[in-house]
Structure 1
Amino acid sequence: MLVHGGVSAQTQQETVSSQEEEPAAAPEPPRVQVPTSTTLDELIPQSAVEEAEDWARQGVGEPERAEVDPEAVAEAAEDGLEDAPDPAIAATLDGFEIPEPQRLEPDPDGEVLAEIDAPDLMQFPELEEFEVSDELILAFPADNDAFPERTNFLERFRTLSTVEALESGDDTVPQLAARARADEELLLEMLRTYGYYGGEVARQLSGGRRGDNGDIAGADIDPQVRFDILPGERYSFGAIDLGDLVSAPDSEELRASFAIESGDPLQSDRIVEEELDLRVALGESGYPFAEVDAPSLLVDHARNEGDLSLPVQPGGKYVFGGVQSSDPDFLSGRHLSRIARFDNGDVYQTSLQADLRRAVIATGLVTSVAVTPREIEPPEGGEPGQVALDVEFDRAPTRTIAGAIGYGTEDGLKLEASWEHRNLFPPEGALRLRGILGTREQLASVTYKKNNFRDRDQVLTVDTYASDIETEAVDARTLGLRGTFERVSNLLFQKPLSWQVGAEVLYTDERNRVEEGEPGPRQVYTIGSLFGSATLDASDDLLDPTSGYRITGFAAPEVSRSLGETTYYVRTQADASYYQEVGTTVLAGRVRAAAIVGAEAFEIAPSRRLYAGGGGSVRGYAFQAIGPRDEFGEALGGGSVVELSLEARIQTGFLDGAIEVVPFVDAGSVARSSRPDFSVIQYGAGIGIRYKTSFGPIRVDVGAPLNPTEFDAPVVVYVSLGQAF
Structure 2
Amino acid sequence: MRLLYFDLSRRKAYHVSSVMKFRFYSILVAACASFFFGTEARAGVPEVEYKARIKGLDNGALEKVIKESILTFKLKDRPPATLGQLRRRSDGDLPRIGTILESHGYYDATVSADIDAERDPTRVTFKIEPGEQYRFRRIQLRFSGPEDPALGKIKPMIRKDSWAVASRVFEEQQRILALMQRKGYPFPTLGKRTVTLDREHHAVDLMLEFDPGVASVYGGFEVEGLESVNQQYIHRQLPWKPGDPYDAKQLDDFENKLLGTGLFGTARVVPKSAAGGTNAIPVKITVTERDKRTIRFGVSYSDIGPGAKILWEHRNFFGSGEHLETSVTWSEIELGGNISLTRPGFLRANQSVVLDIDASHETPDAYDSKKARGTTMVLRDFTQEIQAGLGVGYQYSLVEQLISSEHYGHVFFPLQLVLDYRDDRLNPVRGGHVFGRTAYYKDTMASDSFLKSVGEGRHYFTLWKKYRLSSALRLTLGSIDGASVETVPADERFYAGGGGSIRGYEYQAVGPSLAGTPLGGSKLLEFSTELRLQPGRKLGYVIFLDGGTVYNDLAVDADHSLRYGAGVGLRFFTGIGPLRFDVAYPLNPDDTQRERVQFYISLGQAF
Using the size of structure 2 for normalisation, the TM-score is: 0.73
What's the counterpart of residue 394 of structure 2? Answer: 505
Give the drift of 1:680: 3.8
CA distance 1:364–1:550, change in 2 (3 Å): closer
Instruction: Give the aligned residue type for 1:189.
Output: T
Q: Among residues 482, 488, 502, which one is paired with 1:618 in the alignment?
A: 502
Question: Structure 2 matches for 1:287-436, cutoff 5 A?
Answer: 287-289=185-187, 316-326=214-224, 330-331=228-229, 335-374=233-272, 378-379=276-277, 385-404=279-298, 406=299, 408-436=301-329
Taking CA–CA contacts closer than 8 Å with sequence separation of 6 or more, which of the two structures ends up with the larger relative contact order?
2
Give the drift of 1:606: 1.3
1:525 aligns with 2:408: yes
1:477 aligns with 2:370: yes
1:716 aligns with 2:605: no
Give the drift of 1:291: 6.5
Using the size of structure 1 for normalisation, the TM-score is: 0.63
Instruction: Give the aligned residue type for 1:598.
Output: G
Distance in 2 between residues matched to 1:194 and 1:588, nearest whole Å = 37
Q: Deviations over 1:676-701 (max 9, x none)?
A: 98634332111112344565443322
Contact 2:98 2:111 in 1 (8 A): yes
Give the drift of 1:377: 5.1
CA distance 1:659–1:250, change in 2 (3 Å): same
Give the drift of 1:612: 0.2
Give the drift of 1:671: 2.1
For 1:360, what is the secondary structure of its paired residue?
helix
CA distance 1:566–1:410, change in 2 (3 Å): same
For 2:127, what is the secondary structure of its paired residue?
strand
Contact 2:226 2:289 in 1 (8 A): no
1:186 aligns with 2:107: no
Distance in 2 between residues matched to 1:407 and 1:289, nearest whole Å = 52
1:572 aligns with 2:572: no
Q: Deviations over 1:56-104 (max 9, x none)?
A: xxxxxxxxxxxxxxxxxxxxxxxxxxxxxxxxxxxxxxxxxxxxxxxxx
1:683 aligns with 2:564: yes
Distance in 2 between residues matched to 1:532 and 1:320, nearest whole Å = 35
Structure 2 unaligned residues grouped into runs of 5+: 1-6, 11-50, 198-203
Distance in 2 between residues matched to 1:330 and 1:358, nearest whole Å = 20
Contact 1:254 1:278 in 2 (8 A): no
Distance in 2 between residues matched to 1:230 and 1:508, nearest whole Å = 79
Contact 1:379 1:386 in 2 (8 A): no
Give the drift of 1:511: 1.1
Instruction: Give the aligned residue type for 1:717.
Output: F
RMSD of the alignment, in Å? 4.8
Q: Among residues 356, 368, 371, which one is paired with 1:463 in the alignment?
A: 356
Q: Deviations over 1:143-181 (max 9, x none)?
A: xxxxxxx7875463255356667999xx99989978755
Give the drift of 1:449: 1.3
1:276 aligns with 2:174: yes
1:704 aligns with 2:588: no
Distance in 1 between residues matched to 2:463 and 2:207, nearest whole Å = 47
Q: Among residues 526, 530, 538, which one is paired with 1:647 in the alignment?
A: 530
Q: Deviations over 1:208-253 (max 9, x none)?
A: 736xxxxxxxxxx89562413367999x9xxx9x9xx845675994
Contact 1:597 1:674 in 2 (8 A): no
1:137 aligns with 2:47: no
Question: Structure 2 matches for 1:524-603, cutoff 5 A?
Answer: 524-537=407-420, 540-547=423-430, 549-560=432-443, 565-583=446-464, 585-603=469-487
What's the counterpart of residue 26 of structure 2? Answer: none
CA distance 1:194–1:505, change in 2 (3 Å): closer
Q: Among residues 127, 133, 137, which one is paired with 1:227 in the alignment?
A: 127
Instruction: Give the aligned residue type for 1:555.
Output: T
CA distance 1:699–1:377, change in 2 (3 Å): same
Contact 1:580 1:586 in 2 (8 A): yes
Distance in 2 between residues matched to 1:422 and 1:158, nearest whole Å = 52
CA distance 1:558–1:195, change in 2 (3 Å): closer
Distance in 2 between residues matched to 1:543 and 1:391, nearest whole Å = 30
Distance in 1 between residues matched to 2:327 and 2:149, nearest whole Å = 59
Give the drift of 1:637: 1.4
What's the counterpart of residue 606 of structure 1? Answer: 490
Structure with the bigger percentage of strand = 2
Contact 1:371 1:390 in 2 (8 A): yes
Give the drift of 1:320: 0.6
Contact 2:398 2:405 in 1 (8 A): yes
Distance in 2 between residues matched to 1:167 and 1:579, nearest whole Å = 44
CA distance 1:268–1:255, change in 2 (3 Å): farther
Instruction: Give the aligned residue type for 1:611.
Output: Y
Distance in 1 between residues matched to 2:125 and 2:89, nearest whole Å = 10
Give the drift of 1:279: 4.2
Distance in 1 between residues matched to 2:281 and 2:438, nearest whole Å = 46
Distance in 1 between residues matched to 2:133 and 2:297, nearest whole Å = 71
Contact 1:638 1:671 in 2 (8 A): yes
Distance in 1 between residues matched to 2:400 and 2:263, nearest whole Å = 44
Contact 1:137 1:226 in 2 (8 A): yes
CA distance 1:698–1:674, change in 2 (3 Å): farther
Q: Deviations over 1:469-503 (max 9, x none)?
A: 222322211111122222469xxx851x3323233
Instruction: Give the aligned residue type for 1:577.
Output: R
Distance in 1 between residues matched to 2:528 and 2:553, nearest whole Å = 23
Q: Which moved more, 1:430-439 or 1:468-477?
A: 430-439
What's the counterpart of residue 449 of structure 1? Answer: 342
Instruction: Give the aligned residue type for 2:54.
Output: I
Give the drift of 1:422: 0.9
1:638 aligns with 2:521: yes
Contact 1:611 1:627 in 2 (8 A): yes
Distance in 1 between residues matched to 2:253 and 2:471, nearest whole Å = 33
Contact 1:441 1:468 in 2 (8 A): yes
Give the drift of 1:546: 3.5
CA distance 1:194–1:650, change in 2 (3 Å): closer
Contact 1:452 1:458 in 2 (8 A): yes
What's the counterpart of residue 202 of structure 1? Answer: 112
Q: Deviations over 1:375-413 (max 9, x none)?
A: 565446xxxx11221212222111222334x35244544
What's the counterpart of residue 32 of structure 2? Answer: none
Contact 2:511 2:560 in 1 (8 A): no
Q: Deviations over 1:584-606 (max 9, x none)?
A: 53233323222222222222211
CA distance 1:431–1:291, change in 2 (3 Å): same
Q: Which moved more, 1:430-439 or 1:606-615?
A: 430-439
CA distance 1:537–1:329, change in 2 (3 Å): closer
Give the drift of 1:531: 1.9
Distance in 1 between residues matched to 2:337 and 2:180, nearest whole Å = 55
CA distance 1:231–1:484, change in 2 (3 Å): same
Distance in 2 between residues matched to 1:629 and 1:711, nearest whole Å = 12
Distance in 2 between residues matched to 1:176 and 1:674, nearest whole Å = 89
Distance in 2 between residues matched to 1:581 and 1:198, nearest whole Å = 39
For 1:664, what is the secondary structure of its paired residue?
strand
Contact 2:512 2:555 in 1 (8 A): no
Distance in 2 between residues matched to 1:510 and 1:172, nearest whole Å = 89
Structure 1 unaligned residues grouped into runs of 5+: 1-121, 126-133, 143-149, 211-220, 300-305
Q: Which moved more, 1:587-596 or 1:275-284?
A: 275-284
Instruction: Give the aligned residue type for 1:654.
Output: G
Q: Which entry has the higher C-alpha Rg, 1 or 2?
A: 1
CA distance 1:259–1:634, change in 2 (3 Å): closer
Distance in 2 between residues matched to 1:173 and 1:696, nearest whole Å = 55
Give the drift of 1:314: 6.2
Distance in 1 between residues matched to 2:356 and 2:133, nearest whole Å = 74
What's the counterpart of residue 540 of structure 2? Answer: 660
Distance in 2 between residues matched to 1:440 and 1:494, nearest whole Å = 37
